[in-house]
Amino acid sequence: MNKVAAIQMNSSESILENLTVAKSLIKEAASNGAKLIVLPEMFPVMGRNATDKVKAKEDMGIGQIQSFISEQASRYNVWIVAGTIPITSSIPHKVRAACIVYNDKGETVARYDKIHLFDVEISENETYQESKTTDPGNELTVIDTPVGKLGIAVCYDIRFPNMFTRLFNKGAEIIAIPSAFTVKTGEAHWKLLARSRAVENFSYVIGACQTGKHVSGRETYGNSLIIDPWGTVLDERIEPTAGIVYAKVDLTKLHSIRSSIPVGKYHKSNKVLSENDRQEKEVRRLSLFSKL
């Protein structure tokens, strides 16, 4: 079994300050035996305005943030799932919220661009329009790592279970979810959704979160956690401060669960049912049309 870690941060508008905090926590996690470390969403910068991340953007493969993570991964001989980094988009006033994975040699081995953007109205006084500054991705990512097959999602993605079914179908055994949940939605839904995605897909879920108040006035929920395929919370950071949670990944246990309750074999038949439903709706539509 291999140990994994989720880092919790209270990121500020200062990239240098955030990288200094991340460096200390990565070193601590590695010294405690973690082989794969997940950083939270927007770990390099949580600015006063949404446009601050656009100002901090880097071209893929070049830049202070990416060089820093590469150096930490190789220095401590660990794999790092680098939360989200603002990467240049083809749209000048937007970025890609890119979750880049580095191996233990510091090499970039995968990238996932956040698909589902946080455009919501939580209350009259709290609204978010992530799509104004972020260009969504459109491809899923599952890669081989020393601790198992890793799928990646980011924050708001967690509300879309079909995405996680697709990650399961692509072989994911562990799903990393860098996040920055609001307090209101986090208190109500974060653990519920994380446990649901773990149980539905009999996968480990590693949730690395932002926590506390940020310079923009936004307050994030924290509660970074690691959940096993049975839905058991193995470790959780309840304190609204920076820190680390740990757990060991037992793939033998995971595949034993998947074997005893083989939900995967029904995914194909569910597609057939969906197709049948579509055909029935089309027949009804044509039948109604013929009566006009």
Which residues are annotated as catalytic? 41, 114, 155
Helix (H) or strand (E) holding 112: strand 108-113
Helix, strand, coil distribution of the chain in percent, nearest 5: 35, 30, 30
Distance from C-alpha of 154 to C-alpha of 117, rounded to nearest angstrom: 9
The torsion of the CA quartet 251, 221, 98, 91, rounded to 10 degrees, works out to 150
The Cα–Cα gap between 166 and 263 comes to 13
3-state DSSP call for residue 117? coil
- If we measure between CA atoms, which residue out of 165, 189, 173, 144 comes closest to residue 263? 165
Q: Find the helix or strand (DSSP H, E) in which 211 lies.
A: strand 211-213
Residues in CB range of 263: below 8 A, 6 or more apart: 200, 201, 202
CA distance 35 to 228: 17
Cα-based distances in Å from 270 to 94, 113, 170, 227, 263: 37, 28, 16, 26, 11
For helices 64-76 and 15-31, angle between their N-to-C axes, nearest 10 degrees: 10
Give the span between the Cα atoms of 195 and 181, in whole angstroms.
15
